[in-house]
Structure 1
Amino acid sequence: MSPMVVDKVIETGGPRAGRYTQAKYTANSFPVTVFNDEQHGGVGLFLCEDSACTTYTTNILDASNDSDNARFISMQVHPDTLLPAMTYTMNSTNEAKFVTCD
């Protein structure tokens, strides 16, 4: 059985947008991706709602309009729930942020 390839373009803008990207699978085996969104100065979330990714949700989790924000992203999947959780840095405030899905 060949793996299915889903090719989606996430429009973010900026010369380094999407440079720091992590992708995992949720409990239902649908892809979820977090990425640096340079245009909006935050971190973006792209979540497929079906296996072919024909239906999806995108959102900017933090939009402080600083292109250096959210540059370092680390995402894990909780071993029991298989839901993604991530940390990322916000350079404009010198903070680390933690986001989890429930």
Structure 2
Amino acid sequence: MPEEPSESTDPAEEPGRIVARPDGYHWLAQDGKQEFGPFETLELAQQDMDAADGGEQEPTLSLQEAEREIGIGEWLDPETGEPAEGPSPPHPEGQ
């Protein structure tokens, strides 16, 4: 006699992405390595999954913006992209 599966899916949803467990509904990341939940209803799990999958991501920084943000932008030679020769910005004492 085959065992009943421990999790069930709603066929109307993406196969295997939302599962029902004893504590509520959980949804799985697209790679299947992370599980999120529990949610009281299937609709809440679906809304959370949709928000995560289609949510707006923060805009990425360009290389120059990232270098400026961490404080090394002015240390690089703009022509070569290499560390500038000669005097560099002062280092805090003790470093």
TM-score (norm 1): 0.27
Larger radius of gyration: 2
Name the one with the larger strand percent.
1
Structure with the bigger percentage of helix = 2
